[in-house]
Structure 1
């Protein structure tokens, strides 16, 4: 297996400044770099730049994948973790999930980097597809959603050298409602997203969600006339994306802190995995029953359609012989199968020696007219229309 690495950064809140772009270009001579993205693939060699430095110089989200074991995500949180220290410290307690605070200010970098040996997990062929999901996770985390932190803890607990007996942190309410959001990150780190359903058992329900539009409206209404004019001047002079990012950050900071309901259930990571296996088996069994029922309905519907068509065939056999000929002349394996089906249904519709004679003669005619069409002759033989 040849070596492959994918490494990318995304700017979310605002574009990089010219100075930050210079810094980014100094980190790699091969990457595709813009004020919104930094991306590169490696089939040999390695990234020698400073990933944390890039996150502190404009970029907000980082993903690194290598088919020899590396699976890493990192998020830049400019205002720090949006939960009290007493809350988030319970989730960021493993080696694979770390918080590195900036030397100045409240911001920092949250990194998820559990260890996996090469071959431990299934290979990912399009790792870049996970970037949009990573940005969504960051946006939700900035609102104080404890479910995101719990999901990242699960990924960190899957570290090869982690203990299966490690006890889970408090379980936030509403985990099943974030399957669409957090499911892809589970898959990226080799976990069945069904583990969120297993973890939700016994946890609180989803709390009432605060309307984001209401928060924005409240912040705008609280602005003085002088502050409104100041923002308008900045929009006319400065980069509009930067000004918007500053306003959104101010709105987040002005919103009341969330007290997300959690339950201390005290399960081990191994117990969660075992319960996930049970739920997955049950889910697959139900899905199989649904598929079988759908298949039976489809077969019944097709048989009704076949019977209706056969009634028409009795009254106009020549029309259906021409239809079979038209399909054969259009070429293609599917057309040959369809032509053979028409002739077989016509044989059954007319019935007896007459039906067998009409369709057998026409099948022989088609085979003689198209001697090189082996797939046609094979389809006719499978239907008992040719010797």
Structure 2
């Protein structure tokens, strides 16, 4: 039985230059790479790079899905965007990392039972971009954008206070 893994990363602020696209091509010869995105699926192998490192270096949002139920969503923010209480936070579903330049949120689900495909990823990316925009405007703005779904995120955020 084959395995299916799908990766998609997008740059919302600016473009990938030729050097960056060439570096990404060296990671995957099968990926679809544009000036703003990278996407690839695998059935018997895996991405030859760590997704979080790719996000920090090249992209603003990202997504990973495996047919056994693993989903990871990535949001990169400028350093200083998230409150100090969130930095270094880790739970089963949310990990927060920071370097000198960026803060990275990684949302993870380990057992997603619903069918998911590449078409769902496009819609999901619209929500991920809106979530990033809301976070960059402040947590309060996030509630306006996300409505009731904000409660789940706010409960997670309140755990670290």
TM-score, normalisation: structure 1: 0.35
1:96 corresponding residue in structure 2: 93
Distance 1:96 1:43 in 2: 25
1:85 corresponding residue in structure 2: 84
Distance 1:136 1:199 in 2: 14
Aligned pairs for 1:112-151 within 5 A: 112-116=107-111, 121-125=113-117, 126-128=119-121, 129-145=123-139, 148=142
Does 1:16 pair with 2:8?
no
2:38 corresponding residue in structure 1: 38
Does 1:65 pair with 2:60?
no
Give a deviation string over 1:245-302, Cα, whole Å, max 9, x none: xxxxxxxxxxxxxxxxxxx7x9xxxxxxxxxxxxxxxxxxxxxxxxxxxxxxxxxxxx
Question: Is contact 1:7-1:39 (8 Å) kept?
Answer: yes
Question: Is contact 2:69-2:110 (8 Å) kept?
Answer: yes
SS at structure 2 position matched to 1:113: strand
Aligned pairs for 1:195-210 within 5 A: 196=151
Deviation at 1:68, TM superposition (A): 0.6
Does 1:109 pair with 2:104?
yes
Deviation at 1:146, TM superposition (A): 5.2
Give a deviation string over 1:318-356, Cα, whole Å, max 9, x none: xxxxxxxxxxxxxxxxxxxxxxxxxxxxxxxxxxxxxxx
Deviation at 1:2, TM superposition (A): 4.9
Higher fraction of strand: 2
For structure 1, which runs of at least 5 residues remain unmatched after alignment? 149-173, 184-195, 201-263, 267-387
SS at structure 2 position matched to 1:56: helix
Distance 2:61 2:136 in 1: 13
SS at structure 1 position matched to 2:125: helix
Deviation at 1:123, TM superposition (A): 1.6
2:76 corresponding residue in structure 1: 76
State the structure with bigger RCO (CA 8 A, min sep 6), 1 or 2: 2
Distance 1:42 1:115 in 2: 18
- Greater than 4 Å deviation, 4+ residue runs: none
Give a deviation string over 1:64-112, Cα, whole Å, max 9, x none: 11111210001111x22524313x359x34143112222xx24132111
Question: Is contact 2:56-2:102 (8 Å) kept?
Answer: no
Number of aligned pairs? 155
Q: Is 18-27 or 65-74 further displaced after alignment? A: 18-27
Distance 1:199 1:15 in 2: 30
Distance 1:43 1:6 in 2: 9
Question: Is contact 1:20-1:57 (8 Å) kept?
Answer: no
Rg comparison, structure with higher value: 1
Aligned pairs for 1:318-337 within 5 A: none
For structure 2, which runs of at least 5 residues remain unmatched after alignment? none
Distance 2:36 2:62 in 1: 12
Question: Is contact 2:131-2:146 (8 Å) kept?
Answer: no
Does 1:179 pair with 2:144?
no
Higher fraction of helix: 1
Give a deviation string over 1:201-245, Cα, whole Å, max 9, x none: xxxxxxxxxxxxxxxxxxxxxxxxxxxxxxxxxxxxxxxxxxxxx
Question: Is contact 1:27-1:49 (8 Å) kept?
Answer: yes
Deviation at 1:199, TM superposition (A): 9.5
Distance 1:199 1:96 in 2: 10
Distance 2:153 2:57 in 1: 37
TM-score, normalisation: structure 2: 0.78
